[in-house]
C-alpha cells in the first residue's frame, strides 16, 4: 500500500492568483475597448455616440472606463428589486443616464463595500448620484404592482 502524500495548498495564494487573473482580464477588456474605438474615425464615433444617446466625448470617456464601469448600478438595482432589462427596454434614455452617472461616480469603492456588507441600508442615498432616479423607479414599480 502506498503512503498518502498530502499536497499542501495555500488558500491565500489561490485567492491572490485568482484576483490577479481577474484584474488582468479586466485590464485587457478595457484595452480592447480603447483599441476598437481608436480604429474609428470621428464621423463613426459621432454616429455611434448618437445611436446610444451620448456625446462623442462621453462615449470616449465611457470606453476608457471599460465594460464594467456601471456594474454597481446593476447590483444596486438588483438589491432594490428593479428589473434593469425592463428599464433599459421601457426607458432607454433613463437607463443610459443611470449608467453614465454610475460609470463616472467617485464613490465606487464605498458603493461596492455597501453592496456587499449592507445592501439594504439606505446609506447609499448619501453618495449615489442615481439615488433620486432609482427611488422614482421603485415608486413606479410599486404603482405598477
- Return the higher-pLDDT residue of 3 and 105: 105
Average pLDDT over residues 40-66: 83
Alpha carbon 75 to chain centroid distance? 8
> CA 134, CA 95: separation in Å to the nearest integer?
10
* Predicted confidence (pLDDT) at residue 9 exceeds the cutoff of 70: no
Number of H helices, E strands in the chain: 8, 0
* Predicted confidence (pLDDT) at residue 73 exceeds the cutoff of 90: yes
* Predicted confidence (pLDDT) at residue 90 exceeds the cutoff of 80: yes
The pLDDT score that the predictor gives to residue 135 is 96
* Predicted confidence (pLDDT) at residue 92 exceeds the cutoff of 60: yes
The pLDDT score that the predictor gives to residue 5 is 57
Quote the mean pLDDT of the chain. Answer: 85
The pLDDT score that the predictor gives to residue 10 is 61
In a 3-state reduction of DSSP, which class is residue 54? coil
The pLDDT score that the predictor gives to residue 14 is 67
Q: To 10 degrees, what angle do helices 92-103 and 71-79 make?
A: 120
> CA 97, CA 70: separation in Å to the nearest integer?
11
* Predicted confidence (pLDDT) at residue 117 exceeds the cutoff of 70: yes
The pLDDT score that the predictor gives to residue 129 is 96
Share of the chain above pLDDT 90, in %: 43
> CA 68, CA 124: separation in Å to the nearest integer?
20
Alpha carbon 29 to chain centroid distance? 13
> CA 118, CA 124: separation in Å to the nearest integer?
10
The pLDDT score that the predictor gives to residue 30 is 73
Amino acid at each position: 500500500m502506498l503512503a498518502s502524500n498530502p499536497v499542501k495548498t495555500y488558500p491565500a495564494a489561490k485567492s491572490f492568483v485568482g484576483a490577479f487573473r481577474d484584474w488582468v482580464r479586466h485590464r485587457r477588456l478595457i484595452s480592447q475597448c480603447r483599441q476598437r474605438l481608436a480604429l474609428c474615425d470621428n464621423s463613426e464615433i459621432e454616429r455611434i455616440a448618437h445611436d446610444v444617446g451620448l456625446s462623442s466625448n462621453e462615449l470616449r470617456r465611457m470606453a476608457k472606463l471599460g465594460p464594467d464601469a456601471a456594474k454597481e448600478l446593476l447590483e444596486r438595482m438588483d438589491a432594490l428589486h428593479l428589473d434593469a432589462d425592463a428599464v433599459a427596454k421601457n426607458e432607454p434614455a433613463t437607463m443610459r443616464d443611470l449608467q453614465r452617472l454610475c460609470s463616472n461616480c467617485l464613490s465606487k469603492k464605498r458603493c461596492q463595500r455597501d453592496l456587499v456588507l449592507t445592501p439594504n441600508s439606505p446609506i447609499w442615498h448619501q453618495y449615489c448620484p442615481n439615488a433620486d432616479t432609482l427611488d422614482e423607479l421603485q415608486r413606479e414599480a410599486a404603482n405598477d404592482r
